[in-house]
Amino acid sequence: MEANNKKESRFQARGIIPAVITPLTSEGKFNEPAMRKLVNYLIDGGVHGLFVVGTTGEFYGLTPEEKREVFQVTMDETKGRVPVYAGTNGITTRETVMLTQLAEDCKVDAVSVLTPMFITPNQGQLFEHFKTVAANTSLPVVLYNNPPKTGVNLAASTVAKLAEVANIISIKDSSGDLTLTAEYIRLTRDRDDFNVLVGRDTLIYGALCYGAAGSIASCANVAPRLCADIYDKFIAGDLKGSLQAQFTLAPLRIAFTIGTFPAVIKESLTILGIEAGPCMDPVGPMTAEERESLRKVLIGMGLLK
């Protein structure tokens, strides 16, 4: 399926979009009832979209059919209230195209495509990879840069070229490098059909100041209203309130080092009484000491009494 040369879709990726966990049963199977409850918890918390089967959603451990189930359940429960973004991450272009078309079959609103991992393609190869994926779907495509996890970095000049591709509409930058995020914005700022989302939860306010359109945020699983406040208050002109929300959120993101990712997010939800289940092996549960440290963070944020 060839994408058009001219951007016709006015779909815009913006606001606070949780990188949603994949709730699991004690046997490690997808927990559909828990997912449906989580979808409503997040939407009720004021988020502006849902991003499933990403890094926080443990995409690397799900089969294509399990991913299809997560996409379908999320779409069914969301019922069009907010856009649903599907992670379609693969090492090869062939696999990525297959997963992207699978997501399109599930009628998601957009896909997010991570750079390949394990291999280290150069910038020309990355350009061709994303261009090919985009050409094989009619869906809006959000590029996803996460060099701390993949060892592969999308250069700002490459992103500027990819922004010219018809249905590539945004990039999520989880590099943690605000200079790079700002370069993505600077080099694409003249386009009204492309924007930048930040993926490091401690940098949402800073990125908004540079001109980012929002964030795909892991911490929004736990504190959707607080994360949404960073964006909503910023847009409303309440910069002091937005910054205060950012400062309140920061300890949770910094606490990611307490356990093996994404255990801190799932454990936080469990502490708050929201069913999340375990992480996929070999990521094990947090220790009692780690859990107590995390509990203190949640209490300090005002999320737990």
CA 112 centroid distance within chain: 8
Dist CA 211 CA 4 (whole Å): 27
* Residue 60 a catalytic site member: no
Active-site entry in 7, 85, 144, 205: 144
Dist CA 297 CA 155 (whole Å): 35
The type of residue at 169 is I
* Residue 85 a catalytic site member: no
48 neighbors 230 (Cβ within 8 angstroms): no
Nearest to 53 by CA among 36, 80, 74, 33: 74
DSSP state of 61: G
Dist CA 84 CA 31 (whole Å): 18
Active-site entry in 67, 172, 233, 266: 172
The type of residue at 286 is M
Instruction: Tell me the Cα Rg of the chain.
Output: 18
Dist CA 131 CA 126 (whole Å): 8
- Please list the active-site residues: 144, 172
